[in-house]
Amino acid sequence: MSTRNEEPIRKSRIRKYKAPEVMEILALVHGPAEWEPRYNAAEELVYTILSQHTSDLNSERAYQTLMDTFGTLNAVAEASPEAIEDAIRHGGLAKQKSVRIKTVLNLVHEEVGSFDLSFLGEMPLDEAKTWLKKFPGIGPKTAAIILCFALGMPAMPVDTHIYRVSQRLRLIGPKVNADKAHDLLEPMVPPKDVFAFHVYLIRHGRQICKAQRPKCGECVLAERCPSQGKFDKPKRKTSTRKLKSRMPKN
């Protein structure tokens, strides 16, 4: 019988990781994440459009074929959608992407007078994002990729791997959509660490915290992960009929 002085026993809750802790632990696994520009900002814009809904290998092949075919972004902008489509066929969705690439390149050239977007690096981050997102087909993820990878700005691109890992670690809530996740994850670490934060989360998502079969047994974050064990396959229950069949007969 319980007394009034007895307090109900509460199950202790796991203390969730904060973003800097996640970075510190994953840095021990992956080592330093050094930023190096991949392409200039306008080239990165084209590459990012090509990378949508396809693999890195396919988008890289499509981009290289595009540039081998036309040589410059000016030539791409002047080409017909059909010619662009033929060059980027390796990347998938070539018909839609060809129109988008030509449209965006011409709109950028119309406004800037060239394809030199280095001025974005001198703008406040929010203003640079807003400038890019006014063009069709450029959302939060594409804008963040351009600013981060081409200009070294502290923008946080959130792909499917980062989104999944962030939700499982409860860095973001389960109802936060991918677009909102950019704004929430970005300020969780100092600006100088945003690129590394992106790199560590995406690597962890690809190698360990996979969509279908996460390797929780190999995860360095498992100890305090709120999602640990939730993906283990439940043991199949033995039916009563099978149990009876195993019982020795008298």
Which amino acids are annotated catalytic?
141
Cα–Cα distances in Å, from 103 out to 34, 73, 74, 112?
33, 12, 12, 14
The C-alpha atoms of residue 33 and residue 9 are separated, in whole angstroms, by 45
Residue with tokens 């972004």: 73
| Contact predicate 19/185, CB 8 Å | yes
Distance from C-alpha of 140 to C-alpha of 134, rounded to nearest angstrom: 11
Would you give the DSSP letter of residue 146? I
Which phi and psi angles does 47 have, rounded to 5°? -60, -40
CA–CA separation, 107 and 86 (whole Å):
22
Cα→Cα distances 242→134, 237, 247, 250, Å: 64, 10, 9, 17
DSSP 148: I
Residue with tokens 């989360």: 201
AA identity, residue 54: T
Q: Are the C-beta atoms of 147 and 184 separated by less than 8 Å?
A: no
| CA dist., res. 117 & res. 119, Å (int) | 5
Answer positive or negative: Cα dihedral of 207, 208, 212, 213: positive
Q: Quick one: DSSP state of residue 239?
A: P
